[in-house]
Amino acid sequence: MGFGLAIGVAIVIILFIYFRPDAVSKATAQARSSRDLSPLIALLESVPENRRATCYDQAVKQLWSAYERPLAAQLVRAMAPKTSADKISQYWIRQVLEVEPELARETFDDSFLSSFYVPEVAAQCGKVG
């Protein structure tokens, strides 16, 4: 009976790990429903630096794909000081500028763009950033 119990516990643990909601996706969904990016930004800032760009990309992509473009642009603006050296940050700034120019004018002022946008780097970024 001990071996069967151990197998059962192992299966439950594997299922939990496999099906548990991803923290970034969960925080992004919460931001969409609450219209508050603060918890999502705090989560992204707490991610180890070597994973931050990937998690940031995931969050922006989820907002962008759900047509939450104003929230996506606000997240891009909030994270730029922490990720501007990453190509993915440059990709998203350029994406907002090109696809949603009116929103970009509302969200990105000249000071922001001169501080955090590097067109030469953004030009190197393709569809995958």
Residues 85 and 119: their CA atoms lie apart, in Å, by 12
Residue ranges of alpha helices (H) inside the chain are: 2-19, 23-34, 38-46, 49-65, 69-83, 87-99, 101-107, 110-116, 119-122
Q: What does pTM read for this prediction?
A: 0.79
Query: CA–CA separation, 98 vs 20, rounded Å?
Result: 36
- pLDDT for res 129: 42
Q: Cβ contacts of residue 113 below 8 Å, gap of 6+? A: 93
Identity of residue 68? E
Supply the pLDDT for residue 84: 64
pLDDT band per the 50, 70, 90 thresholds, residue 126? low
pLDDT tens, position by position, 47-104: 888 888 899 999 999 999 999 999 999 999 999 988 766 888 999 999 999 999 999 9
Residue 71 near residue 32, CB atoms below 8 Å: yes
